[in-house]
Amino acid sequence: MKFDMSAAWRDAMAMVSANREVLLVFAGIFFFLPSAVLGFAVGDVQETMLADPENAQKIMLSVYTSWSWLIAFAALITVVGYLALLALLRDHRRPTVGEAIKTGLIGLLPAIGAYLLLAFGVTLIFAALAGIARAIGNPGLSVVLGLVAVVLVIYLMVKFVLSAPVIAIDRVYNPFKALARSWRLTKGNSVRLFLFYLLLLIAYVVIAVVVSAVIGLLAVLVGPAIGVPLNAIVSALISAVATVIFAAVLAAIHRQLGGPWTAPVSEPFE
């Protein structure tokens, strides 16, 4: 079937609207808090880098290396919450919040496995094309192959983005099978899905840039003591809202391409 962008967006917003109270709590625990804590811990890295541009790369590497354990922990919590949220939004078994979190925990390793497989495939593509470019030694061809690599990576991301809903909703815990099902679900709709994701990305970037500019101006006026934590909180809030919306969008896409279920899309959680 052909993917309908408008229908997917309407379904996603219906799910968000019908379950906003639970989503608010979920977003706060799994998305906002990890991001905010990380923002407070890392601090205003950008300002530090601008103050010493010659050592900017070293500063960034040093900061993120020092907090690598927190970054990894926050990422794991976010993935668990993401999978649990997908299960809450779309699982026809209507799981409780506790059952959804359990689904997220069970799906964590398969999700990591699927990500590693995809990352390995992307690495192979870049390595192969880079090898070809070096062997031929033509600068113009290197640029062309680089563009080909970028297009292939975007294509793979579009084809495999439904692996998370497949794991959380269909409960396919084999990473290979999850990626394969995502490929099948997106068959014939890759371009439409890419355009849909692109529109969402543009909207997110525009909103994030505008809000960041306003917060940056306020930070200059009130000073770093207030500006840095304010920026961390607002950035975490934007990230949490965007994550919830994108999860709802993926749930709606999975519903449309994977087939409907009997419960209405706007039915609230139990």
Whether 166 maps to a domain, the answer reads: no
- The percentage of residues in the chain with a pLDDT greater than 90, rounded to a whole number, is 44
Whether 145 maps to a domain, the answer reads: no
The pLDDT score that the predictor gives to residue 265 is: 42
Return d(Cα 184, Cα 168) in angstroms, integer. 17
The pLDDT score that the predictor gives to residue 62 is: 75
Residue 94: which domain range?
A: 5-107+188-258
Whether 124 maps to a domain, the answer reads: no
Whether 264 maps to a domain, the answer reads: no
The pLDDT score that the predictor gives to residue 129 is: 81
Whether 68 maps to a domain, the answer reads: yes
Return d(Cα 257, Cα 64) in angstroms, integer. 39
The pLDDT score that the predictor gives to residue 266 is: 40
Whether 11 maps to a domain, the answer reads: yes
pLDDT band at residue 269 using 50, 70 and 90 as cut-offs:
very low
pLDDT band at residue 54 using 50, 70 and 90 as cut-offs:
low
The pLDDT score that the predictor gives to residue 268 is: 44
Return d(Cα 230, Cα 270) in angstroms, integer. 35
pLDDT band at residue 264 using 50, 70 and 90 as cut-offs:
very low
Structural domain total, the chain: 1
Average pLDDT for the chain:
84
pLDDT at 46 over 80: no
The pLDDT score that the predictor gives to residue 262 is: 37
Specify the amino acid at residue 247.
A
- Condensed to tens digits (0 to 9), the pLDDT of residues 148-170 reads 888 998 999 999 999 999 999 99
The pLDDT score that the predictor gives to residue 270 is: 41
Task: Name the more confident of 64 and 14.
Answer: 14
Please state the rounded mean pLDDT for residues 185-193: 93
- Condensed to tens digits (0 to 9), the pLDDT of residues 234-258 reads 888 998 999 999 999 999 999 999 8
If one counts every other C-beta atom within 10 angstroms of the C-beta of residue 116, the result is 11
- Please list, in sequence order, all residues whose beta carbon lies within 8 angstroms of the beta carbon of residue 94, skipping any fewer than 6 positions away: 263, 269, 270
Q: Look at the alpha carbons of 167, 173, 175, 179 in this order and tell me if their dihedral is positive or negative.
A: negative
The pLDDT score that the predictor gives to residue 260 is: 53
Least confident of 123-132, 228-237, 253-262: 253-262
Please state the rounded mean pLDDT for residues 27-34: 91
* Residue 51 Cα distances to 46, 55, 228, angstroms: 9, 9, 15
Whether 117 maps to a domain, the answer reads: no
Least confident of 96-100, 186-190, 199-203: 96-100
Whether 87 maps to a domain, the answer reads: yes
Please state the rounded mean pLDDT for residues 83-100: 83
The pLDDT score that the predictor gives to residue 127 is: 85
pLDDT at 267 over 60: no
